[in-house]
Structure 1
Amino acid sequence: MTRIDASLIPQASEVLTRAFWNDPFDLYFFPDESSRRKCLPAFFEYRLKQGLRYGEVYATSPSLEGIAVWTDPTRVKSSFWRELFTGGFKLYRMYGGTIIKEMRQFEAFAMERHAKYARPPYMHLGPLGVNPQHQGKGHASRLIKPMLRRLDGEGVSCYLETQNKDNVSLYEHLGFEVVAEGVAPFLDIPHWDMIHMPP
């Protein structure tokens, strides 16, 4: 694996944009292609900056076939100013208040579930995405397995959520279990919480 630094954020955000192009969560907020092309790269730049600030970001190789963001919740110190520092102001200007408000509502929903279903100590996985032209070649496994081995050795669990049913079986194959399934209240899309426990 290749560890991502700030210099690779533009390329990594493009990989994630392609990977999540038809994801239910992103289709809800950006239903037309023009808005996704404009807004998704900025969204993933923000997520990548958060990952670098509060965790670790990896690619499959220097060719960036796939990207995985791992966040340590104990390091996250969210505040208005920190969000601005990692790109939140850019998102607010680009998306407008309505979308940001709905995203914050979803974040509150997700964090409530984190608190209920995650098993501390844990790392949070996400986003994880593979460029569509490289999907089906084992890149997701190559991104996940080395970190899971490390976390197992440290006695740390791994928590993730997905709104894409197709991802559930992939994660189950890698040893994750569904701990809860529901529907994001106002998005009306399914939501799975999954966890991988150390032996």
Structure 2
Amino acid sequence: MSNITISLMQKNEAKKAAKVLSLAMLDNPLHQAVFLGSGEQERLEIEAMFDDLLTQRPGIVFLAKEERDIVGVMRMNSCSGRDLPDGPPEFDGKMDIRWRKFVWLREWALKDPKELHWHLGPIGVLPSHRRLGIGSSLMQRFCNEVDACAATAYLETDRDENVLFYELFGFEIIARSQVFDVENRYMQREARP
């Protein structure tokens, strides 16, 4: 971890950050269920989704870099509740990715706390750079920023190992739901003075 630096994302780094997130999250159960697979086509769709998020609604984005290469990404956004997505879109049955994304994002929006909070997500580290402390460094940076505001934090996850990871930073499960037969956990961390 000694040669990893954490810095704010510049606008011209959004596309590379989106690619890192797509590689980091391609094996997430929910992404596999929504995008119907884990091949290159699905990765490109996930990358496009994150590129749109990071360019249209970036919030605050921190990058973990190894020299000049982005190896991890963490986005945080201050919000109170989330707008329900428009829709449902015109679709060609339940295998239509647009419809599946609508169902997923609507479910997450319904669970988003109405009170002002810092929302974590997405956060991801390249598979080749996991278990090196990079994710922990990004999470600690997030917690430090949130604690400086004495604010509540919130996130969603579909991975069991992520639940345990987030619990190390003080998050607790506050709700659960199924999206395309994948269990989603909604976690909150109370404000720290």
TM-score (norm 2): 0.82
Q: Deviations 1:153-193 (Å, cap 9, x if unpaired)? A: 31211100011112110101111111122312xx1100000
Following superposition, the deviation at residue 197 of structure 1 comes to: 1.1
The residue aligned with 1:14 is 19
The residue aligned with 1:106 is 104
Preserved contact between residue 182 and residue 191 of structure 1 (Cα < 8 Å): yes
Work out which of the residue numbers 1, 6, 9 in structure 2 matches 1:4. Answer: 9
Preserved contact between residue 51 and residue 57 of structure 1 (Cα < 8 Å): no
The 4+ residue runs of structure 1 with deviation greater than 6 A are 75-80
Are 1:193 and 2:186 matched, yes or no? yes
Following superposition, the deviation at residue 104 of structure 1 comes to: 1.3
Residues 95-134 of structure 1: pairs in structure 2 closer than 5 A? 98-114=96-112, 118=113, 120-134=115-129
Distance 1:173 1:50, change over 3 A: farther
- Structure 1, gaps ≥5 residues long: 81-91
Preserved contact between residue 51 and residue 69 of structure 1 (Cα < 8 Å): no
Count of equivalent residues: 177
Following superposition, the deviation at residue 44 of structure 1 comes to: 1.6
Preserved contact between residue 17 and residue 41 of structure 1 (Cα < 8 Å): yes
Following superposition, the deviation at residue 16 of structure 1 comes to: 0.7
Are 1:57 and 2:50 matched, yes or no? no
Distance 1:195 1:19, change over 3 A: same
Distance 1:71 1:50, change over 3 A: farther
TM-score (norm 1): 0.80
1 or 2, which has the higher helix percentage?
1
Work out which of the residue numbers 50, 53, 56 in structure 2 matches 1:47. Answer: 53
Following superposition, the deviation at residue 64 of structure 1 comes to: 1.7
- Structure 2, gaps ≥5 residues long: 1-5
- Aligned-residue sequence identity (percent) comes to 23
Between stretches 150-159 and 25-34, larger displacement belongs to 25-34
What is the rounded CA distance, in whole Å, between the counterparts of 1:69 and 1:161 in structure 2? 13
1 or 2, which has the higher strand percentage?
2
